[in-house]
Structure 1
């Protein structure tokens, strides 16, 4: 077994094709097949179900896929740490951020870090909270900034900023004409939501469940900007971060509903649970994060 075999296997699984993987990796198809065969011989198992009607990893193939991603992530991290050792604060920090943090909070933090440590390259990945947490687990990211609490034993986290969640309603919505909004008035409306795995969606679903609000329909949009624009266009109601609303200059969409209490959550910094995996660059980044947020 070698690194190239693991890299090849990962790409075959992700592209669900030997042919596509060979083109992406610039390898011949026989070479791709050879790497997969080597892995199957090494692990003494069939890794891929290649029946005529489907192409997917077997159960053992899933295990090897997840571990292969972790191993390659660790090797990449080791290379970065060696570079950091020889060049001090040089090298790269792979930062993952959920959409709310990545779009509205992280840019000013990146500017401050870049001005202080210009020799460090910053690579930013913006995905939903669940995907960022998974990236830290697989060692594909060095540090994550996400919405909500993190309850995974493989990860450690600490809160760094409180965030208020507000109800936003189209300016022409019938609710706005009510002198007093009742529980029944909130039933069976369309709600605009972020995608599954988003911290923002989790809060909205919790609000609907806690107050027994029945949604007539949920429209899913994969970005905060898209949700705000959807509400502006009259698609429906939503629960979203006040940070997003203020940065979008959409304060007029906020509607206070008396029996729904103000909801808050924290943004969290996510790290590997093993402190030995936290590089010097990341340690400096975290120190700057804590000082920077205190000034906001």
Structure 2
């Protein structure tokens, strides 16, 4: 039996990724008949079916799903090898894929990196903590930002920043006229929660539990944008790390003057990539930013 050709696996991988033969062909800069023929050869060669072919949605069969998991690893390793070779230069060109659960937390780092290395194209991928962590582990992301320290032995975690949790209060609510309130003021107040597992939610819930405060938890939304929109519409009071608060004419920022627990952000990356010049450059920039903040505080 003939060995599997790299071009066959590449074509399969792209169709599986995009769910479209035409999009895969555009991505690989080859014709659609070519990519179709390569996948048919692969199926015929091993007497398997990889796709349920439909006009607008080519779904993977069970065999196709299993093969796609393998090609994800294969092309991730290939990309890492390419990145290793490219990174031996002076970082004059290349790409940085950065995952972030909170884009606002990494913007100072991104801004400083772009200033030092303007030739590097930066893409920020947003998502939940688990999605970001897995992206770093499988090589789809170079680095990631999480709201908690990741104990995974294959990852390194560095603290980026820390900030208090603040409230986004609808201007229709009496508390919007206060600059700061105690946690006890949230008794019987309509509260909009983040999803279970959110670090900021745990901080708020722990503080409420300690003081035996019972707000009216009327809504749960699994995104920062969603809880903000709920407050904008006057549904209830939401909460967020202070650097993530986005002003709007319908909401006011209100501090919790007796909440000492801070929300923290961590930069994670794979231990095996630690010596890459791009990773080292970001680590150095992060250290410089933190040193500048420390100097500003002590002046």
| Shorter-chain TM-score tier | 0.7 to 0.9
Structure 2: how far apart are the matches of 1:164 and 1:45? 56
Partner Cα separation in structure 1 for residue 40 and residue 268 of structure 2: 37
Map residues 254-265 of structure 1 onto 2, 5 A cutoff. 254=254, 256=256, 261-265=259-263
Q: Does 1:291 align with 2:288?
A: yes
Structure 1 stretches lacking a partner, 5+ long: none
1:156 — aligned with what?
156
1:230-287 CA deviation, whole Å, 9 max, x = no partner? 5244242212111123x648994325387xx444232111111324x64112112212
In structure 1, the partner of 2:121 is 122
Q: 5 Å matches for 1:53-202?
A: 55-85=58-88, 87-100=89-102, 102-103=103-104, 105-118=105-118, 120-128=119-127, 129-173=129-173, 181=185, 183=187, 185-186=188-189, 189=190, 191=192, 193=194, 201-202=198-199
Q: What TM-score, normalized by structure 2, do the two folds share? A: 0.72
- 1:237–1:154 distance in 2 versus 1, CA, 3 Å: same
Matched, 1:215 2:217: yes
TM-score by length of 1: 0.72
CA contact (8 A) 1:93 1:122 kept: yes
Q: 1:26 to 1:15 in 2, by over 3 A?
A: same
Structure 1 partner of 2:279: 282
Aligned to 2:296: none
Give aligned pairs, total.
279
Worse-matched range after superposition: 204-213 or 10-19: 204-213
RMSD: 4.0
Task: Give the alignment of 1:217-232 within 5 angstroms.
Answer: 217-219=219-221, 223=225, 227-228=227-228, 230-232=230-232
Unmatched tracts of structure 2, length 5 or more: 294-299
- Is 1:7 the counterpart of 2:10? The answer is yes
Q: Give the whole-Å Cα distance in 2 for the aligned partners of 1:78 and 1:269.
A: 22
